[in-house]
Amino acid sequence: MLYAQGFGSRRECEGLCLAGHVSVAGRVVDDPMEDIDTAGLEYVVDGVTWPYREHALLMLHKPDGVECSRQPKHHAGVLSLLPLPLRRRNVQPVGRLDADTTGLLLLTDDGALIHRLTSPKHHVPKVYEVTVKHAIEPALLAALTAGVMLDDHPVPVRAAAVEATGTHTLRLTLTEGKYHQVKRMVAAAGNRVEALHRSAFGALQLPADLPPGHWRWIEPAIIGL
């Protein structure tokens, strides 16, 4: 069980049990071969409580200056914000946010779920809070709604929804994920993105009590799948 949950090699996991570092319901599990029912299981390793998950699914409040790449080049990588067992499970971001973009990021080790959440045919909405350089004019909102041309796309790309939330802020909903899409769309509509924050993914809202750099477990049903 521990091996599948990212706690090291089979020998390392055996050693954790034999040394008394693993417990279930207050009882030390020192037999590495003990058969444990994993349904609804919570277990403790070195004083930290973990839920058993066949597949890990997390949400993280991505801070500014962190890369979503598994091999970051210019900033710290987002995976460095996760504990070692999750990194060992090959958890990876569902899509990417630019290094200077903050907000809701999903991470999982479930390849089928990543495909479902990122495939354009499923139209999973992502909501962005956008701060722009110039005051928002009705023409900007109209252009984003009608669609703008991007260099690498043969037809206009449009927002699923857009609304002004202030003189220099707007809320933009997209159902596809192209490279630098929000920044390029706003630029094509005649303005410039100064700050970008993702506030929702599917039906999941970024909780107000989840600070930047922190994460928590979620269930797929919460996203609205």
pLDDT bin (cut points 50, 70, 90) of residue 179 is confident
DSSP H or E run through 146: helix 138-146
Query: Given a cut of 90, is residue 178 above it in pLDDT?
Result: no
Mean of pLDDT values over 105-118: 92
Question: Using an 8 Å Cβ cutoff, are 94 and 108 in contact?
Answer: yes
* CATH number, position 18: 3.10.290.10
Report the domain count for the chain: 3
Identify the domain containing residue 129 by its residue range: 125-201
How many percent of the chain have pLDDT more than 90?
75
> Which one of the listed residues 30, 64, 98, 100 is annotated catalytic?
98
In a domain, 3, yes or no: no
Examine the domain organization and report whether 190 and 157 are in the same domain: yes
pTM: 0.91
DSSP-derived secondary structure letter, 78: G
Instruction: Please say if 98 is a catalytic residue.
Output: yes
* CATH number, position 65: 3.30.70.580
pLDDT at 196: 98
